[in-house]
Amino acid sequence: MHTNTPTTSSIIRPVFSDALRAKLDTSGPRYTSYPTADRFNERFGPLQYSQALQHRVIGTDIGKRAPFSVYLHIPFCESLCYYCACNKIITKHHERAMPYLDALETELDMHVRALGRGQPVSQIHFGGGTPTFLSDAELERLMASLRHAFSITSDAEISIEVDPRTANRERLASLQAMGFNRLSFGVQDFDETVQKAVHRIQSYESVRDLMEGARELGYTSINMDLIYGLPFQTAESFATTLERVRALRPDRIALYAYAHLPTRFKPQRRISEDDLPSAPTRLTLLQSAINGFLDEGYVYIGMDHFALPDDTLAKARQAGRLQRNFQGYSTHPDCDIIALGVSAIGRIGPTYSQNVKTLDEYYARISQRQFAIERGLKLTRDDLIRRAVIMELMCQGRLDYELTSCHLGINPQYYFATELSELDAFEEHGLLERTPQGIQVTPTGWFFIRAIAMTFDYHIRASGRLASFSRIV
């Protein structure tokens, strides 16, 4: 089966006809995991997590396991962005970081005791919240603890989300000295009116300075997060933002759709629905961003990600090695994730788990040296089969019957007979092609990949529940 990776020379722009626009008007999971986190339950707790770690140790002994990925959640932020849907604590009291660091180190030590010291780690990500809420000394302390606990591979990706309002060139140099080699800047939009409406003011000049500083320091992978669908965004204002982004030329761009769910996320109540762009304007914003990035030579990775052709993400996409995890698309092989900190989500073998969501609960559990798992899931055989198929679609845009049969020991045409019969509408709209060998998602179909993947989601099929997910566009 041919691959469908867009290259700069074979860029095909998605065309959103009226029929497609109507079809895009739906919600769906982002599939950073399958089953999605709303399926986790409290029957999976600290005991089940310990057992999963023990099974992991058996796998390590026989030398079959890939290195770990480690995620650290730093929940503190100095001020509230009104669009925020993250688990965070707004505070200007930086002394609150100290007990949190103590707890993180205890949680780390509990993992060392369960797994043994020196387990290989090839990926570390600091997310939040605002990881750069921590001082250089605090970040350094955490990095030292990680190095003491694990054996970090020489080519490890060590990344951090940087709030431009909390960083300057000196800070970037300190981060580099600590071992960070990837940065992600939260930008969202450069327009002042939009920034005021979402309560996140940061000038273009300050971000430009940081980008220039990062490049001078030799950071090779710089990501920029943008959001479309924010209050007061117009085609003209967003065009100016996009022009500025293109001038800064980050290696990667994540372009997220703002999901206005004020009943679920309290900060969003400060955003008036009347100020949000209409559905047709949202689509215009999306389309102009896609076209602009493709014109600049970016490769469309999938979902909401773009990367320059020589970035490792674009190369992984081209080579069919793309993966998807809780941080989005990744170049790393399907690996287990140790998640540390309040609300963090991890993955060990055929299990997912999430820590408790409040600081009080987190401290209470960790002070008892009990894993802070609040809920999780042990995947069934069917979950594992569907996860492989959904990730194949999300990452490679295809389903190859023969490969699937070899890897999963099933006949996909038989196992998924119902699901496959429901793909007619996608085919009619030109979103995928079916051959006797399998399914191939078309360039336009990539923008609907969540909807296509949803066809194979048992839990959505069984419950029909979509309300809790964000809009596809």
Omega within 30 of 0 (cis) for the link into 129: yes
Q: Which stretch binds ligand SF4 (CB under 6 A): 21-29, 124-132, 309-317, 339-347?
A: 124-132
| Nearest to ligand SF4 of 257, 423 (CB atom) | 257
**What is the spatial distance between Cα 443 and Cα 4, in angstroms, rounded to a whole number?**
7
The values of phi and psi at residue 361, to 5°, are -65, -40
Number of shown-chain residues binding ligand SF4 (CB under 6 A): 10
* Contact window for ligand SF4 (CB under 6 A) among 14-22, 80-88, 384-392, 444-452: 80-88
Q: Which stretch binds ligand SF4 (CB under 6 A): 128-136, 142-150, 207-215, 232-240?
A: 128-136
The minimum distance between CB 199 and ligand SF4, in angstroms, equals 8
Q: Which is nearer to ligand SF4, 284 or 354 (CB)?
A: 354
Task: Output the 3-class SS for the chain.
Answer: CCCCCCCHHHCCCCCCCHHHHHHHCCECCCCCCCCCHHHCECCCCHHHHHHHHHHHHHHHHCCCCCCEEEEEEECEECCCCCCCCCCCEECCCHHHHHHHHHHHHHHHHHHHHHHCCCEEEEEEEEEECCHHHCCHHHHHHHHHHHHHHEEEEEEEEEEEEECHHHCCHHHHHHHHHHCCCEEEEEEECCCHHHHHHHCCCCCHHHHHHHHHHHHHHCCCEEEEEEEECCCCCCHHHHHHHHHHHHHHCCCEEEEEECCCCCCCCHHHHHCCHHHCCCHHHHHHHHHHHHHHHHHCCCEEEECCEEECCCCHHHHHHHCCCCEEECCEEECCCCCCEEEECCCCEEEECCEEEEECCCHHHHHHHHHCCCCCEEEEEECCHHHHHHHHHHHHHHHHCEEEHHHHHHHHCCCHHHHCHHHHHCCHHHHHCCCEEEECCEEEECCCHHHHHHHHHHCCCHHHHHHCCCCCCCECC
Is residue 136 a known part of a binding site?
A: no
Task: Please identify which residue in 5, 130, 159, 404 interacts with ligand SF4, judged by CB under 6 A.
Answer: 130
| Contacting range for ligand SF4; rule: CB under 6 A; set: 30-38, 79-87, 170-178, 451-459 | 79-87
Nearer to ligand SF4, 130 or 355 (CB): 130
Residue 80 contacts ligand SF4 per CB under 6 A: yes
Rule CB under 6 A: say whether 471 interacts with ligand SF4.
no
Phi, psi angles (nearest 5°) of residue 359: -60, -40
Told to check if 132 binds ligand SF4 by CB under 6 A, we report no
Give bridge partners of residue 90 from the DSSP assignment.
Answer: 77
Is 86 a binding residue for ligand SF4 by CB under 6 A? The answer is yes
472 binds ligand SF4 (CB under 6 A): no
For the CB of residue 198, give the shortest distance to ligand SF4 in the complex, in Å. 9
Rounded to the nearest angstrom, the gap between the alpha carbon of residue 211 and the centroid of all alpha carbons in its chain is 22
Q: Is 130 annotated as a binding residue?
A: yes
Closer CB to ligand SF4, residue 188 or residue 325?
188
Residue with smaller CB distance to ligand SF4, 81 or 283 = 81
Cα distance between residue 189 and residue 242, in whole Å: 9
Query: Does 81 belong to an annotated binding site?
Result: yes
Select 88 or 398, whichever has its Cβ closest to ligand SF4.
88
Is 188 annotated among the ligand-binding residues? yes
Q: Does 343 bind ligand SF4 (CB under 6 A)?
A: no
Among 163, 311, 336, 400, which residue interacts with ligand SF4 (rule: CB under 6 A)?
Answer: 163
Q: Does 88 bind ligand SF4 (CB under 6 A)?
A: yes
Peptide bond into 35 cis (omega under 30): yes
Contact positions with ligand SF4 (CB under 6 A) in 166-195: none
Q: Is 129 annotated as a binding residue?
A: yes
Residue 259 assigned to a binding site: yes
- The stretch near ligand SF4 (CB under 6 A) out of 4-12, 74-82, 272-280, 296-304 is 74-82
* 392 binds ligand SF4, rule: CB under 6 A: no
Does residue 37 belong to the site contacting ligand SF4 (CB under 6 A)?
A: no
CB of 372 to ligand SF4, least distance (A): 20
Q: Does 128 bind ligand SF4 (CB under 6 A)?
A: yes
Nearer to ligand SF4, 35 or 128 (CB): 128
Task: Candidates 129, 341, 438, 443: give the one binding ligand SF4 (CB under 6 A).
Answer: 129
Among the candidate windows 83-91, 102-110, 167-175, 298-306, which touches ligand SF4 by CB under 6 A?
83-91
Q: Does 84 bind ligand SF4 (CB under 6 A)?
A: yes
Provide the residue type at 124 as one letter.
I
Q: What is the closest distance, in whole angstroms, from the C-beta atom of residue 73 to ligand SF4 in the complex? A: 10
> Rounded to whole angstroms, how far apart are CA atoms 211 and 305?
19
Binding residues for S-adenosyl-L-methionine: 71, 83-85, 128-130, 161, 188, 200, 225, 259, 345
Annotated binding site for [4Fe-4S] cluster: 77, 81, 84
Chain positions contacting ligand SF4, by CB under 6 A: 77, 80-81, 84, 86, 88, 128-130, 163
